[in-house]
């Protein structure tokens, strides 16, 4: 690769291991913003500068700077936090954020609306609750996802511990976070970054861990995936996957969503070495010129899977064995009570689009606070923006259920399709949003539900996902029905995910408004009702009937 690199590379390299001028920016009272360089560096510390897009024009016309605030995203491997940590988050969101908590599609939480002067107290408070935000964002490994459902208890616990180890192992080494936010002592010696080097990775990097048959983590969409392989309930190792990712750019055919390839099987003791070596091969081989092509998926397509596998094997001094055959059965979460093999009960609650806030209809924030005050076990955020009240003793089950019902957290009227739906944040905080998602999707789902009811299809659980732009934060490109924002009130409609997260969907109609979306789906549901095979999912049906062509090799097929 030649020596010309993009601006972000220069900023990272010159940041003195992620310090930049953050302290100065934070203390600058003349603006609610950070310096442009620190905006990039702040992501590695877990926060993003944003402005309220609803009032951007109004502020401009009043000659005011945009209404800047910050979003902070925590690192929470496997999505697990205790009841007391939940109570701390609740309190922090009211004191220092905008009074809501956002559960994300990567199994952690975000605070929105943090003013600059509140950032340091907020980071100190979450650390006080033993949660940090290092690597919540930035060009390093992000929150490591893992199946949160404690049903398969023993194996689950073992693999959860490995998930935590991966997250810890791939943390950056710099003391910048501790120095700037936690008033940690400045050490004499210079920082070293044995894994990342002084320029960190060319781009963000995402790792997931899955236990088949659950694909609730959408494992194939991660840069790096570990699929647990068990024999007679005992963990024997992992299939390693590499090169998944969702982000695309409208109109740029050189960008595409992609599913990860199988590199092969490894024993459990090799997991951390392999994780590190996949990361360092991407560090050295990834594109540092074009950020648009810098994700691992493009590195692998450029090098070829075989060459990439060899590079990792050489670094790790490990030979991959052939991957063990696995079967994933579904995406998304399973709701209601499930008993773990430890005899404890776990209650999965639907939190629409992950937004924890009280509204006139439903007291999500208050209800969860009341549960946390009683509950002795964990809270587990799912990779689908939902929440599990985990580890409930038999004698507490009725009490927890009563509180959940009274606050509206259990609503039997939600359709299966709504329960399975995901929408990203989009307006008003996301700077990339081209169309609404979180604020609009619930009403569109009600209309889609009506269409399904007309054809008596409401016992179907369709995977419908919406994003406000093609970055793909709600993983719309592995949905049976994906709606991707194109402009205000306009969406591309993609069809053909397989309901198990193992097939990329394909553009069916472009730039549709709501009326056009509903008319198009109405016609398709009508055909689906009469032509489908028994138990055939909608995504599989549209592919079988040739309504869309299957995407097998995204680099060639996605835009074809």
Q: How many Cα atoms are found within 13 Å in the side-chain-facing hemisphere of 413?
A: 3
Q: Does 425 bind ligand SRM (CB under 6 A)?
A: yes
- SS3 for 77? helix
Looking at residue 162, what DSSP letter applies? Answer: H
Cβ proximity to ligand SF4: between 400 and 425 the closer is 425
Binding ligand SRM (rule: CB under 6 A), the pick from 110, 174, 280, 540 is 110
159's enclosing H/E stretch is helix 153-169
- The pattern of x and - marking residues 233 through 262 that bind ligand SRM according to CB under 6 A reads ------------xxx---------------
Told to check if 478 binds ligand SF4 by CB under 6 A, we report no
Distances (CA, A) of 466 to 145, 278, 491, 522, 550: 21, 31, 9, 18, 20
Which residues between 406 and 425 bind ligand SF4 (CB under 6 A)? Answer: 424-425
Q: Which residues are catalytic?
A: 73, 142, 204, 206, 424, 430, 469, 473
320 alpha-carbon distance from chain centroid:
28
Cα 26 from Cα 16, distance rounded (Å): 17
User: Is residue 163 near ligand SRM by the rule CB under 6 A?
Assistant: no
- CA 384 to chain CA mean position, Å: 8
* Partner that binds at residue 494, options ligand SRM, ligand SF4, none, CB closer than 5 to 8 Å by kind: none
Asked if 430 is part of the footprint of ligand SRM (rule: CB under 6 A), the reply reads: yes
471 binds ligand SRM (CB under 6 A): yes
CB of 75 to ligand SRM, least distance (A): 9
Q: Which residue has the tokens 């690199």?
A: 5
76 touches 109 (CB < 8 A): yes
147 contributes a contact to ligand SF4 by CB under 6 A: no
At residue 545, the 3 state secondary structure works out as: coil
Beta-sheet strands, E only, within 52-103: 68-73, 80-82, 101-103
Instruction: Give the residue, chosen from 76, 409, 473, 495, that forms a contact with ligand SF4 under the rule CB under 6 A.
Output: 473
Which range touches ligand SF4 (CB under 6 A), out of 262-270, 387-395, 431-439, 501-509? 431-439
Please report whether residue 48 would count as binding ligand SRM according to CB under 6 A: yes
| Nearer to ligand SF4 (CB atom), residue 336 or residue 489 | 489
Interface region with ligand SRM, contact rule CB under 6 A, candidates 83-91, 281-289, 465-473, 488-496 = 465-473
Q: Which is nearer to ligand SF4, 141 or 467 (CB)?
A: 467
- Backbone φ and ψ of 556, nearest 5°: -100, -40
Distance of CA 269 to the CA centre of its chain: 27
Candidate residues 42, 69, 100, 143; the one interacting with ligand SRM per rule CB under 6 A: 143
Applying CB under 6 A, among 229, 400, 424, 452 the residue interacting with ligand SRM is: 424
Stretch that binds ligand SRM, among 79-87, 103-111, 122-130, 276-284 (CB under 6 A): 103-111
Residue of 123, 195, 281, 430 interacting with ligand SF4 (CB under 6 A): 430
- 153-169 vs 271-285: helix axis angle to the nearest 10? 40
Minimum CB separation of residue 484 from ligand SF4 in Å reads 8
Site string for ligand SRM, 359-398 (x = CB under 6 A): --------------------------x-------------
Nearest C-alpha neighbor of 243 from the set 203, 187, 272, 186:
203
Report in angstroms how near the CB of residue 432 gets to ligand SF4 at its nearest: 4
> Rounded to an integer, what distance in angstroms lies between the CA atom of residue 130 and that of residue 128?
5
Strands 101-103 and 355-356: antiparallel
- Name the pairing type of β-strands 261-267 and 234-242: antiparallel
Report the candidate in 61, 34, 66 with the shortest Cα–Cα distance to residue 47.
Answer: 34
**Which of ligand SRM, ligand SF4, none binds 469 (CB below 5-8 Å, type-dependent)?**
ligand SF4
**DSSP conformation letters of 499-514:** SSS-SB-EEEEEEE-H
Position 296 contacts ligand SF4 (CB under 6 A): no
Q: Which of 228, 219, 225 is nearest to 155 (CA)?
A: 228
Query: CA distances (Å), 381 to each of 416, 424, 485, in order?
Result: 20, 16, 26
Binder of ligand SRM out of 98, 221, 420, 540 (CB under 6 A): 221
Per DSSP, which regions of 134-202 are E strands? Answer: 145-146
- C-beta closer to ligand SF4: residue 286 or 468: 468
Q: Rounded distance, CA 293 to CA 457, Å?
A: 41
Q: Tell me which residues touch ligand SF4 (CB under 6 A).
A: 424-426, 430, 432-433, 437, 467-469, 471-473
The residues that touch ligand SRM, with contacts defined as CB under 6 A, are 48, 50, 71, 73, 104-106, 108, 110, 142-143, 204, 206, 221, 245-247, 295, 354, 385, 424-425, 429-432, 471-475
């Amino acid at each position: 690769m030649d020596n010309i690199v993009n601006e972000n590379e220069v900023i990272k390299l010159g940041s003195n291991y992620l310090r930049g001028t953050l302290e100065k920016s934070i203390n600058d009272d003349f603006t609610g913003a950070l310096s442009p360089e620190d905006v990039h560096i702040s992501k590695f510390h877990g926060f993003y500068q944003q402005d309220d897009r609803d009032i951007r024009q109004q502020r401009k016309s009043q000659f005011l700077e945009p209404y800047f605030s910050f979003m902070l995203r925590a690192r929470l491997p496997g999505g697990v936090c205790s009841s007391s940590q939940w109570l701390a988050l609740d309190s922090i969101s009211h004191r220092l954020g905008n009074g809501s908590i956002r559960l994300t599609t990567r199994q952690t939480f975000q605070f929105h609306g943090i003013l600059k002067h509140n950032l340091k107290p907020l980071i100190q408070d979450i650390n006080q609750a033993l949660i940090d935000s290092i690597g919540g964002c930035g060009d390093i490994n992000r929150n490591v996802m893992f199946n949160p459902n404690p049903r398969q208890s023993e194996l689950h616990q073992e693999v959860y511990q490995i998930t935590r180890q991966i997250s810890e192992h791939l943390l950056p080494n710099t003391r910048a976070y501790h120095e700037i936010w936690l008033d940690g002592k400045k050490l004499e010696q210079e920082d070293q970054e044995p894994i990342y080097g002084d320029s960190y990775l060319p781009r963000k990097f995402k790792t997931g861990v899955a236990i088949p048959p659950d694909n609730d983590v959408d494992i194939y969409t991660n840069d790096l995936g570990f699929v647990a392989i068990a024999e007679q309930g005992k963990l024997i190792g992992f299939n390693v996957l590499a090169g998944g990712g969702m982000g695309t750019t409208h109109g740029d055919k050189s960008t595409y969503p992609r599913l990860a390839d199988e590199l092969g099987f490894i024993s459990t003791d090799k997991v951390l070495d392999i994780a590190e070596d996949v990361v360092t091969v991407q560090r050295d081989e990834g594109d540092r010129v074009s950020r648009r092509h810098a994700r691992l998926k493009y590195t692998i397509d450029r090098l070829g899977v075989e060459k990439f596998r060899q590079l990792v094997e050489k670094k790790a001094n490990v030979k991959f064995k052939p991957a063990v055959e696995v079967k994933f059965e579904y995406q998304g979460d399973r709701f209601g009570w499930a008993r773990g093999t430890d005899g404890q009960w776990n209650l999965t609650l639907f939190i629409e689009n992950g937004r924890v806030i009280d509204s006139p209809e439903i007291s999500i924030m208050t209800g969860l606070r009341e549960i946390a005050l009683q509950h002795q076990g964990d809270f587990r955020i799912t990779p689908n923006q939902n929440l599990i009240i985990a580890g409930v003793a038999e004698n507490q089950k009725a009490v927890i259920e009563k509180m959940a019902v009274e606050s509206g957290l259990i609503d039997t009227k939600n359709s299966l399709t709504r329960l399975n739906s995901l929408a990203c944040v989009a307006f008003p905080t996301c700077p990339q949003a081209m169309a609404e998602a979180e604020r609009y999707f619930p009403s569109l789902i009600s209309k889609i539900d009506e269409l399904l009811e007309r054809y008596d299809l409401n016992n179907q659980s369709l995977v419908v996902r919406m994003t406000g732009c093609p970055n793909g934060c709600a993983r719309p490109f592995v949905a049976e029905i994906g709606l991707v924002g194109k402009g205000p009130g306009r969406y591309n409609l993609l069809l053909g995910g397989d309901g198990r997260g193992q097939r990329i969907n394909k553009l069916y109609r472009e730039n549709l408004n709501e009326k056009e979306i509903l008319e198009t789906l109405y016609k398709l549901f009508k055909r689906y009702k009469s032509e489908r095979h028994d138990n055939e999912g909608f995504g599989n049906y549209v592919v079988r009937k040739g309504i869309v062509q299957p995407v097998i090799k995204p680099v060639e097929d996605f835009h074809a």
